[in-house]
Each structure stands twice: as structure tokens, then as C-alpha cells.
Amino acid sequence: MSFKGIVRELIEIKDGIGNLSRRRLEWKNWGSRNRSHIVPNQASPCEFVEQGLWANLPPELLLDIIRRIEVSETSWPARTVVVSCAAVCRSWREVTKEIVQTPELCGRLTFPISLKQPGPRDFPIQCFIKRDSATSTIRLYSGPTPSEDENDKLLLAARKIRRATTRDFVISLVVDDFSRTSSTYLGKMRSNFLGTKFTVYDSQPQPNAAVKTSSRSSRRFHSKRVFPRVPPCSYRIATLSYEVNVLRRGPRKLHCLMHSIPASAIQVPAGLQGKDRVTDFSSVSPPEPPPADGSRWPLVLENKAPRWHEQLQCWCLNFGGRVTMASVKNFQLVAAARPPPHHRNVPAPEQEKVILQFGKIGKDVFTMDYRYPLSAFQAFAICLSSFDTKPACE
């Protein structure tokens, strides 16, 4: 059944329930006219009907409606209907949360919490990035490439803030509010003076952090957060390092230490799909220290080594048609083949699997494809490091 048919059914149900509610209200109002006492003003009959109409739908019918909408609307902007269903009332929100799966299982981004959940294992989620040099903002959109009508879904936005010795990239859900006291603030990334080291901070603690990281408390006491129970702090989730290349010999070399992702995340058997391997970011419990066997040591990512093309006289990588222009910013990240001490060996198939790729397709337009175990927030923060000035690497 199409979405129009579902809406038609809802209108018919609305008319039927509405008539019954009006009759009951009229009977109550008629009986209350014979009473002499005065009662305070209450909600109007229209408000009562509207509130009780959608909340009192039969659970079986509501479950079937939202399930059909979830299956039919798989891409933005049509997927806005799924979000609208969760905003109707509490019962609709609970059913929608039960039906809509995490990006790891369905490969789709629906709610803001999806941006901090890992992507799918079998295929990457395709996004693209636009840079606005005039306002120093960088925007992440859903979809493989920009659409002609520019009606793309905005996922994340970042603004570059220059300081005396460092540079910050503040990440938000919207493009017009980068305040750290706002409910749309998600985190930041800070670089050193030479642009060789970057630290990614999250505004919320990571329950499944690989190692216990230090949190730097802020002086914000009255900020309105998405999770109001958690004090506003900065939690380190990743450290990015670029090798010094003053002589400009060869491409950039990037190493990512993911403090919030254990190295064993890419070694979970396929039989655990949908069970133990789903990362839950809704919990706010503090992270636990890693076990002695090294199973919870942080994951290390490094850029895939390009090959030299004799005819083109340049370094080349296979981006699968997702990158069309040469740029020093282009890269692909894979699991480190030679992990540091106390880390488990990474299987050979996992070493060839591209976890994140970033490349240029036009003036100030780039593509970003990521997959498990990275989230959209983590992948976007890593890509932001390519936009910063690197005097010691270029």
C-alpha cells in the first residue's frame, strides 16, 4: 500500500473516532449544564479530540502503518515522514523506535543519534561534503552526490575557529548555531600549531570506550544538552597524527588512534550480527578499563598506501568511481596491518577493507564513504583534518 493510501485510512479512522468523541463530549456538556457549581476552564473539546485521536490507535494498526512507512521511505527527503511519525505522540515514538533499526543493521540514517552509531559492515554509507571558505564552515550531507535542486539532507556542520597556537573545528547539528551551550553541539576537533596532530572530543561519554580517557570539564553550568543528566564535558575519542613531510616526498601519511573503538571490533564473527556487536550510545555509564588480554585496546587506522602510476606520473588509489579529481586531501583508511604492542593481529581480509574514504569531486565538493566500526560523527571529524593547514606536511 502506498503512503497516500495509508494517509487515507488514517483520515477515515480519524472521522470515526472523532464522531464518537464529539458525541461523548456533547453528552457530558449537556449533563453539566444542570449543575450549579463553577468549574475552572479546561482544555477545549478540539484539543481533547486531537490529543486522544492519534494516541489511542489500535497497536496492531499503528505497528503496521509505521512498518510500511519505514520500508517504503528509504532515502531523504522522503524519510522525513519516518521522523514525523516519531513526533506525533509518545505511543507513536515508542513504536517508531522499536521498528527503526540502527545504521549498522539497516544502513540508513534516521534520527540524530544515528550519527554517533557505527555504520554497516557489508557496504559503506555514502555522503558528500561542501566547503564554504567565506564563512569557514564545512557541511556534511546525506547522499552520494549533490542533487540538482540542492534539497539535500544536512547531517552535520563544522566551523573552523582560529586561535593563537591552535585551530578548533566545532561540530554541530545545524549550520547557524555552533555554541557549546546549545543542544545541537556534538563535539570538536583541535589541532596543534604545525597541523600534524589532531584530537577529537565528544560532548558525551563513550560507554564502550577502548581505554579510559581523561575528560576535561567545562565551566558551563546551565547548558541545555541532549542528555541533560550528563555534565557538559569534552571526552577524547580519537587522536590523529600526520607524519612530518617537510621535503614533500610522497603523499600524506595519517595514523588514527580510535580511543572509543576497541581493536576487537573488526574481528567480531558474522554470527553475532544484530546481537552483541551493536554499539549502544544511549547509555551514559562511564567507560571501563581494558582487560589484561588486550581485547579492549583501541583500534588503529592508517591510510592505504597509494601506488605510483608511470604514465600519469602521480600517486593513484582506486576509489571505485567516487573520486574524480586529484588532490592531496584524498585518502583511504584501513585497519593498521602492524598494530602497536599488546594489540591483536588484524586478519588479512580486514586489512584490505576500506573503512573510510575521502576525495574531491569538484570545487569545494568532496565525497565521504564510511562503514563499521566508524560513525558519521567520527568519520566527519577525521575528514575535517584534511581541510586544516599543515605547514610541516606540505
Q: Does a structural domain hold residue 129?
A: yes
Establish if 253 belongs to a structural domain: yes
Q: Is the pLDDT of residue 141 over 70?
A: yes
Residue 261: which pLDDT band, with cuts at 50, 70 and 90? very high
**Band (366; pLDDT cuts 50, 70, 90):** very high
Residues 152, 71 share a domain = no
Cell numbers of 180, please? Answer: 557549546
CATH classification at residue 249: 3.20.90.10
For residues 351 and 337, what is the distance between their CA atoms, to the nearest angstrom?
6
Distances (CA, A) of 178 to 156, 158, 173, 302, 387: 11, 8, 9, 30, 18
Upstream peptide bond of 373 is cis (omega within 30 degrees of 0): yes
Q: Is 392 part of a structural domain of the chain? A: no
Element (H, E) at 83: helix 80-86
Q: Do 138 and 214 fall within a single domain?
A: yes
The average confidence (pLDDT) of the chain is: 77
Report if residue 39 sits inside a domain. yes
User: Which single residue is written with the C-alpha cell 581494558?
Assistant: 290
Rounded Cα gap, residues 2 and 5, in angstroms: 5
Q: How confident is the model at residue 209 (pLDDT cuts 50, 70, 90)?
A: low
Residue finishing a domain among 84, 100, 116:
100
d(CA 333, CA 124): 13
Q: Is the pTM of this model over 0.95?
A: no
Residue ending a domain, among 65, 100, 135, is: 100
- The whole-angstrom separation of Cα 36 and Cα 152 is 60
The residue among 185 and 252 whose pLDDT is bigger is 185
Q: What is the tally of structural domains in the chain? A: 2
Locate 78 and state its grid cell. 522522503
What range defines the domain where residue 227 resides? 125-387
Residue among 172, 304, 298 nearest 251 (CA): 304
Query: What is the rounded CA–CA span in Å between residue 386 and residue 94?
Result: 40
Q: Are residues 90 and 236 in the same domain?
A: no
**In angstroms, rounded to a whole number, what is the distance separating the alpha carbons of residues 95 and 91?**
6
User: What per-residue confidence (pLDDT) applies to 341?
Assistant: 55
